[in-house]
Amino acid sequence: MTDRDTMTDRDTMTDQHNRMLTVTEPGAVPWLSVVFGYGPMLPFAAGAAAAWWLGGTRGGAWDGTWGGTRGETWGGVMLSLTTLWGCAILLFLSGVRRGLSFRTEGGPTWVQIATMLGLFLLGFSALVLTAGGAPGPALVLLIVGFTGIAVLDPIAARRGEAPLFFARLRPLQIPIAIVSLCALLALTL
């Protein structure tokens, strides 16, 4: 039986329109957060390694055709796919920030909303640039976005705007993406 099973309506509701929550969270990173935190970082490292190993971009990023009509290499394909992965993860993390703001004591703060909007705009702009065949500028935006997460999430954790374990997880997790994206950016220069 869990604490949730023993809670009554009186424990969770002050009236029909308000809810009071009491949360105890560990400072340690839960194992599921390790899996879902580091798991999505693996495609960054694997994609960057594959892009370099497969010969870089000789001719640019992938044009969306498998025939390689403009001289794209498999390295270019990996660069594009890894960049798109970065866009997806950054957009997802912007949603995580918004979701966390719903449970912030006293309601969302302007910092939470600004961070969410900034991450979303960086991720979406990178997606548009990638689709438009401009992987270099897209990678710069992704590097800025992921660096922001590595810096701001530990601060948000200390302020009560994110789980405490973000202060331990993000500084070790997010640099995997940043280093991988920097390696990809070097291929575009």
C-alpha pair distances (Å), 11 with each of 5, 17, 20, 105, 188 = 11, 14, 8, 17, 57
User: Whole-model pTM above 0.85?
Assistant: no
pLDDT surpassing 90 at residue 82: yes
Question: In the structure, what pLDDT confidence band is assigned to residue 76 with cuts at 50, 70 and 90?
Answer: confident
Question: In the structure, what pLDDT confidence band is assigned to residue 57 with cuts at 50, 70 and 90?
Answer: low
The domains of the chain are located at 26-188
Question: In the structure, what pLDDT confidence band is assigned to residue 106 with cuts at 50, 70 and 90?
Answer: confident
pLDDT tens string 24-51: 887 788 999 999 999 999 999 999 999 9
- pLDDT at residue 67, as a whole number: 46
